[in-house]
Amino acid sequence: MHSEADWAAATQQFQQSLTQSWGMALQSFEQLGLPETGAGNGPLPALKFSPEKLQELQQAYLKEATELWNHGLHPKPPADKRFAGDAWGANPVAAFSASAYLLNARTLLGMAEAVESDAKTKARLRFAVEQWMAASAPSNFMALNAEAQKKAIETKGESIARGMKNLLADIQQGHVSMTDESLFEVGRNVATTEGAVVFENELFQLIEYKPSGKQVYERPFLFVPPCINKFYILDLQPENSLIKYVVDQGHRTFVVSWRNADESLHDKTWDDYIADAAIKAIEVVQEITGARKINALGFCVGGTILSTALAVLAARGEKPVASATLLTTLLDFSDTGILDLFIDEPMVKYRELQMGKGGLLKGQELATTFSFLRPNDLVWNYVVGNYLKGETPPPFDLLYWNSDSTNLPGPMYTWYLRNTYFENNLVKPGKCTVAGQKVDLSTLDMPVYVYGSREDHIVPIGGSYASIRHLPGKKRFVMGASGHIAGVINPPAKNKRSYWTNDKLPATVEDWIAGAKEHPGSWWTDWAGWLKGHAGKLVAAPKGYGKGAKYKAIEPAPGRYVKAKA
């Protein structure tokens, strides 16, 4: 059916298509906040393929294409969740189009792998092809989606009308709905743990939570969440709130609630976030509680901020933290996964020129970029459901939080971009000067609990594990199942997933995993036992919030900063 000449023509066509998709991907990333890189300033270089891999692909393609053709209008049901519905199997034309699409997708990805080039270029090519294939799936088009067509017939067109209504609503709000956002309100049914704001400045509010018992541990506990998201990922619902869990464990708990940056913060720097936020929060917690030492946790970028702050304090001769917990945090940016693809010198310089002296990185840019890292699950799935089928996505607190984006000050963002993702300077002793001090992570000799998620695509498990090489104190590393968020927010009561422990800390995460023991359920219980050992003795719980006139309750938790929209 297919000749060698056909394959040669297909290969040439692929090169042209790959060049086109590469340009499309770069253009998309520029729109999403990641502009063209040095590799993108001009046409894609001529591609050279591995002859052996091309031959294998050719043989596999011809074999599968022949089988598909021989099945005619009775192909096997595609093994892909996008085409798993009964309507696809009942519609021979739709089933054939889905099978042909999957065959072409596999082949295109195989040809990207067959390109002989450096690892980063190959990864960029693979990403471009994956984006192109995700966007061109037959399930994304009404004319080809058998399920959407069936629903339109069954509802006599009502699903199409609802889909148009959903589309117009999403255009108005500026993002694709992942959940029914009308069902959630911050402070009403998310972020409801009882507490009060006891301090605020232009960068953050500090929330103190009401103890759940008559006693608390003498060392208070401070959460430093990521500033690229809102803190209530740690306090979604009472049954899955890590904040409430810590309160119920007997810890006097405080949380940093970052301000959603507006034009008044356009010139704020990384130094400001360290000195006037992280360090200030530690000092305020100490003053309110009277504790000489506290325990602290940093989540994602919050962990990077916390660690930098502790290194600055150590350089000043101060060590106020008795133990630190780092959740899905990068300190060593050698392994940053897919986010590394488009970060190079031209991209970083572009951002520095754009907003390095002032400006804002819009929250929607970040949110959209992160969504397109998993386009089928976080973009096209909702395009199909919301618009083609006219469905309202089910209520899901985590996805509501995911859509509640935050802005960042440009100078702060560009410092972070260059000194972490691009140059990996935090792990180079003395390379970074922050708040007037040389940063040296080897001075952080407190006990540290490091957690990483096995399927994390934002902070790869190897990136989480790399932190232990730079922290000299007693360390415990734990790996949880699932991804960046779902792995962390895994309450014990649900008895879901697993976590792994290994008291030995070999050089590589692969060796650590090989010797690790799996435990059913949540890693929270393991961490709670560890944290208890660093919390000190039990003392009488405070009867009110804050301390005296200086730190009185300003407003009830969760405060107004977290309610500000980007």
pLDDT over 90 (residue 112): no
Tell whether 16 is covered by a domain: yes
pLDDT of residue 26: 44
Per the domain annotation, does 402 fall within a domain? no
Question: So what's the pLDDT on residue 77?
Answer: 65
Is 297 within 8 Å of 324 (Cβ atoms)?
yes
Q: Are residues 110 and 252 in the same domain?
A: no
Q: State mean pLDDT over 126-142.
A: 92
Structure tokens at 128: 């471009």
pLDDT band of 37, cuts 50, 70, 90: very low
* Whether residues 148 and 231 fall in one domain: no
Cis peptide before 409 (omega within 30 of 0): no
Residue 481 has pLDDT above 50, yes or no: yes
Q: Report the mean per-residue pLDDT for the chain.
A: 90
pLDDT at residue 317, rounded to an integer: 97
- Within a domain: residue 424? yes
> What was the pLDDT predicted at 124?
86
Residues 238, 144 share a domain: no
pLDDT at 413: 97
Q: Is pLDDT above 90 for 58?
A: no
Q: Residue 471 domain-assigned?
A: yes
Give the DSSP per-residue string, 306-344.
HHHHHHHHHHTT---EEEEEEES--SSTT--GGGGTT-S
Quickly state the pLDDT bin for 478 (edges 50, 70, 90): very high
pLDDT at 38: 40
d(CA 215, CA 366): 42
pLDDT band at 325 (very low <50, low <70, confident <90, very high): very high
pLDDT at 42 over 60: no
* Set 39, 148, 300, 485: catalytic member: 300
Please indicate, yes or no, if residue 407 is contained in any of the structural domains: no
Same domain, 537 and 474: yes
Q: Do residue 304 and residue 450 come from a single domain?
A: yes
SS3 25: helix
**% the chain with pLDDT above 90:** 73
Of 126-140, 198-212, 222-236, 421-435, least confident by mean pLDDT is: 126-140
Among the candidates 91, 125, 154, a domain finishes at 154
More confident residue, 41 or 243: 243
Please indicate whether residue 300 is annotated as part of the active site. yes
Reduced to 3 states, what is the DSSP secondary structure of residue 217? strand
Structural domain count of the chain: 2
Structure tokens at 528: 């709670």
Judge if 210 and 133 occupy the same domain: no
Residue 409 resides in a domain = no
Strands 253-258 and 517-520: unpaired
- Same-domain status, 443 and 558: yes
Pairing status of strand 360-361 against strand 408-409:
antiparallel
**What stretches of 334-465 show up as alpha helix (H) in DSSP?**
345-355, 363-371, 375, 381-383, 397-403, 410-416, 461-465
What would the mean pLDDT of 284-306 be, rounded to a whole number? 98
CA distance 139 to 85: 11
Q: What is the pLDDT of residue 39?
A: 38
Query: Could you tell me if 252 and 333 lie in one domain?
Result: yes
- 297 & 432 share domain: yes
In which band, very low, low, confident or very high, does the pLDDT at 33 lie, cut at 50, 70 and 90?
very low
- How high is the pLDDT of residue 314? 98
Q: Residue 463 sits in which domain range?
A: 195-338+420-563
CATH number of the domain within which 501 lies: 3.40.50.1820
pLDDT tens digit sequence for 314-324: 999 999 999 99
Structure token digits, residue 56: 């294998």
Query: Are 237 and 397 contacting, i.e. CB atoms less than 8 angstroms apart?
Result: yes
Tell whether 149 and 205 lie within a shared domain. no
Q: What is the pLDDT of residue 30?
A: 43
pLDDT the model gives residue 561: 98
- Is there a domain that residue 171 lies in? no
Q: Looking at the DSSP assignment, which residues form a beta bridge with residue 258?
A: 204
Instruction: Identify whether 149 is part of a domain.
Output: yes
Residue 137: predicted pLDDT: 94
Please count the other Cβ atoms lying within 10 Å of the Cβ belonging to residue 228: 20
Residues 201 and 98 in one domain: no
Q: Does the structure show a pLDDT above 90 at 121?
A: no
Could you say which of 103, 122, 154 is where a domain stops?
A: 154
Over range 327-339, report the average pLDDT: 94
259 has a pLDDT exceeding 80 = yes
- Same domain for 242 and 145, yes or no, is no
How distant, in Å, are the alpha carbons of 12, 325, 346, 495, 545 from that of 50? 14, 46, 30, 48, 67
DSSP code of 190?
B
410-466 per-position pLDDT tens digit:
999 999 999 999 999 999 999 999 999 999 999 999 999 999 999 999 999 999 999
The pLDDT-based confidence of 25 (bands split at 50, 70, 90) is very low
Q: Is 263 exposed, middle or buried (0-12, 13-18, 19+ CB in 10 A)?
A: exposed
Residue 44 confidence (pLDDT): 53
Contacts of 253 (CB under 8 A, 6+ apart): 195, 208, 209, 220, 221, 222, 223, 243, 246, 247
